[in-house]
Amino acid sequence: MKDNPVLYNYFRSSTSVRVRIALNLKNINYEYIALHLRKKEHQSDEYLKINPYGLLPTLKFPSGITLNQSLAILEYLDEVYPTPSILPLNPIDRAKVRSMAYAIALEIHPLNNLHVLNHLKDDFMADEVKIKSWFSKWVHKAFSPFEKILENDKKGGYYCFGDTPTLADICLFSQVVNNVRFDVDLSKYPNINSIYERCLTNDAFIKALPKNQPDAE
């Protein structure tokens, strides 16, 4: 294990799911270190020395290289471990896949992150119903155009872009997994649902599911 990277993560964190999928796809063995978000273990002095932002996930390599922010980690892994690639070779195709991934990672996740939901609960007295409504609002705002893109894209295949998983599938799958906890109605998104179901036949995605992690509750 000393030669493997160390992943600091939380079983239910969608950004942690993203990195676990990529590590699995690329057959990279790693050491799993669990930090419980609701117990604020990611805010300990010890962890803040590793990641001053106090966020998850963080990937630390034996060389001393330490990376945070899931998208940066995913792109680094694709550059250093290029097979199988999670980004197309063609620059235009790469941009399209990034655009799809960013629609999830930048338009949904920042608004529905745990610290935002806690802020709504603690400072604005939002109950569970209102929090679920907030969560669903931002999912639908991004999923509706995402579904249209999947429907109209001539380069579509088994996954979001072609017949192999890409950065877009990693982000989409992780978001759908998170949606279940908040009772988001996904019945209007047949293409998204099909891709999600297809990912569930891929061991790399299955192994990354929250329920399959050592700290799962």
Kindly state which CATH superfamily the domain 7-82 is placed in: Glutaredoxin (3.40.30.10)
Q: At 3, is the pLDDT very low, low, confident or very high (cuts 50, 70, 90)?
A: confident
Task: Name the band, by pLDDT with cuts 50, 70 and 90, for residue 110.
Answer: very high
SS3 126: coil
**pLDDT-above-90 percentage for the chain:** 93
pLDDT at 156: 65
Q: Write out pLDDT tens, residues 41-80.
A: 999 999 999 999 999 999 999 999 999 999 999 999 999 9
User: What's the pLDDT at 176?
Assistant: 98
Range(s) for CATH 3.40.30.10 in the chain?
7-82
Q: What is the pLDDT of residue 1?
A: 56
The reported pLDDT for the residue numbered 155 is 63
In the chain, list all ranges with CATH 1.20.1050.10: 91-205
pLDDT band of residue 125 (cuts 50, 70, 90) is: very high
Residue 31, token pair as written in the block: 């050491």
pLDDT confidence bin for 2, thresholds 50/70/90: low
pLDDT for position 153: 79
What is the mean pLDDT of the segment spanning 81-99? 96
CATH code at 91-205: 1.20.1050.10
